[in-house]
Structure 1
Amino acid sequence: MKTSLLLLPVAAVLCAITAPIKSSPLPGGWAPIPDIDKPEIQELGQWAVAEHVKQAKDGLKFTKVVKGEVQVVAGFNYRLDIHAKNSDGVDGAYRTVVWELPTNGRRLISFTKAN
């Protein structure tokens, strides 16, 4: 009985140590964007398509952001899965990474057709 009572606090401590801890994402790690329907996220996707069109001149039209992740860096990287229509009106899936600088600037890091 005494041994069982001694093991109980030890087991409680072990459970507390090994339980998963939910916290903010670590700098450098990607974390899901919980609400991609927020206007700021949709606007960021629209901006990414517009920047891509300036460079590629392919006439894509933004439809919506369907998934996203954020990474804490010097500012924030946003990895967004976007739907956009081509000049024929055909909807396609794209992945983009946008770096949002701490000084309110943005840079389009990548924009590719999703598989």
Structure 2
Amino acid sequence: MRTCSLLLVATAAAAFAVAAPVTANLGGWGVIPDVEDAHVQEIGAWAVAEHVKRANDGLRFGKVARGEEQVVAGVNYRLGIVAVNLAGQNATYSAVVYEQIWTNTRRLLSFDRAK
């Protein structure tokens, strides 16, 4: 059973690597070449929505301005997000999101005002 599980994980990881090429080396961070990509923007919007659920501070998503990704057992995204506060002012936030597509898992690991 354990061998079967390991084989399934290895197969899924290989399929993901072929389906979603990234600039990062396995385990290392690499620049996301196209932060305008719809999936990257959707992850940024999701990160803001998750943050608002926790902080109830009324932030509204603007756009992902920069990003890095790290291939692990899924992908970590480190994003620079422009969001609008309740006063209508733009501010930049740093968010780290973990996503594993084959298990439909997404977690907000951190969300902080950029310095």
CA deviation after TM superposition for structure 1 residue 24, in Å:
5.2
Whether 1:71 aligns to 2:70 is yes
TM-score (norm: length of structure 1)? 0.77
- Which letter does structure 2 place at the counterpart of 1:103? T
Instruction: Give the SS at the match of 2:112.
Output: strand
Distance change in 2, residues 1:114/1:38 (3 Å): same
1:1-115 alignment to 2 at 5 Å?
A: 25-101=24-100, 102-115=102-115
In structure 1, list runs of 5 or more residues that go unmatched. Answer: 1-22
Q: Structure 2 unaligned segments of length 5 or more: list them.
A: 1-21
For 2:40, give the aligned amino acid: I
Cα–Cα, structure 1 residues 34 and 50, in superposed 2: closer, same or farther, change >3 Å? Answer: same
Deviation at 1:105, TM superposition (A): 1.2
**Do 2:44 and 2:81's aligned partners in 1 also have CA atoms closer than 8 Å?**
yes
Q: Sequence identity, in percent?
A: 55
RMSD across aligned positions (CA): 1.4
Aligned length: 93
Task: Say if 2:24 and 2:69, in contact at 8 Å, map to a contact too.
Answer: no
Return the TM-score normalized by structure 2: 0.77
